[in-house]
Amino acid sequence: MGDYLSIVRKGAFTSGDLVAYIPEQSILPDSLISEMGLDGMLAGKAKNRVKPIRLRGVLSQGLCYPALADWEEGQVVTESLGITKYSPPIPAHLEGEVFPAGLDRCIRYDIENIKRYPGIIKDGEDVVMTEKIHGTWLMVGVMPPSLYHEYGDVVLSSKGMSAQGLALIPDTEANDTNLYVRVARHFDIPGKIRSMYSEALHNDIPVYVIGEAYGVQDLKYGASPAQDDTLGFGAFDIFYGKIGSPSSMYLNDADLDRDLKEMALERCPVLYRGPFTSEILAMHTNGKESVSGESLHVREGLVVRPITERRNTEIGRVQLKSVSEKYLMRKDGTEFN
């Protein structure tokens, strides 16, 4: 469970008991809900989704289920309990015509919660903390000639599609209303990549800009998907190289900052640079958003990573998110990928 806190009924467990931790955004089968005495108490229309709640002023993130006799510590038991992960419905303006670009052109991307992996980032390590924007993940890649596909050199995808090796057809009338395509066009992200990294592309090296298109969820930062000139985009990564190649890399903080400024692409707001401490993490996790410059609503949280990129044997690339309690507890929130 790491640093996650789950509030349980007094006397239900004793110290040292083995339990299954059921995290937020889990969908429980009716039989398990009844067995745990949670009928009508969970979230969602079907009352079957685990969400964070506050009990006597304390945030509880998930449920604990007593381990069966044959379970072992570290065992994954979601399938045996019939638990699945919540997948929100996709709005029409995020759908579009796709093609199989392949996993050699599409980045798989996820950020684990620092509560699950405390200790990966050590006290005193030089880090950068950037605001986590509540939007939808967008990858825009430009391919060198060896990786051209039937629709050209651009690979444009969402997180869910990219994990499947799928990309949106960039230049088709059917995708003219698609948010991802509109953002890429409005900010001319492919053109800026071609100009900035012409030498890399000439040397058979693909380049990707990854960021968050915003204004599409319940936290809008003053942006809106209604018109192109009201769209928002905040970049948080540039990936340089062929996927799976030992020489491929995410840019370090300073290089990322420099290149995004040269391309005139907005970066997700940098909240802090300096030595890491849990106190500084907590201070910057909470508060008002700074994307709009007007503190319009609650901050989602932040992403923390070393100033100089490094990897860890347990999680791979070292970057972790820390999520605001007020964000977790907000009402009528949306969670599109």
Concatenating the DSSP letter of every residue in 99-148 gives EE--TTTS-----EETTTSTTSSPTT-EEEEEE--SSEEEEEEE--GGG-
Q: Let me know: does 154 contact 191? Beta carbons within 8 Å.
A: no
Q: Are residues 273 and 145 in the same domain?
A: yes
pLDDT of residue 241: 97
CATH number where 218 lies: 3.30.470.30
- For residues 12 and 161, give the distance between their C-alpha atoms in angstroms, rounded to a whole number: 42
Q: Are residues 39 and 128 in the same domain?
A: no
pLDDT of residue 93: 63
Q: Which of 164, 148, 152, 157 is nearest to 102 (CA)?
A: 164
Per the structure, the complete domain to which residue 122 belongs is given by 92-329
Q: Are residues 238 and 264 in the same domain?
A: yes
pLDDT of residue 247: 94
**E-strand stretches of 133-284:** 136-142, 154-157, 166-168, 207-214, 232-240, 249-250, 270-275
Q: Are residues 125 and 51 in the same domain?
A: no
Last residue of a domain, one of 43, 58, 85: 85
pLDDT of residue 91: 63
- For residues 330 and 323, give the distance between their C-alpha atoms in angstroms, rounded to a whole number: 12
Last residue of a domain, one of 85, 107, 129: 85
Q: Let me know: does 96 contact 161? Beta carbons within 8 Å.
A: no
Q: Return the structure tokens found at 128.
A: 């950068």
- Site of tokens 């492919």: 190
Last residue of a domain, one of 67, 85, 103: 85
Count: domains in the chain: 2
Q: Is residue 79 part of a domain?
A: yes
Instruction: Please name every residue paired with 99 in a beta bridge, in sequence order, or none if there are none.
Output: 167
pLDDT of residue 1: 56
Residues of the chain with pLDDT under 70: 1-2, 89-93, 336-337
Amino acid letter, 277? T
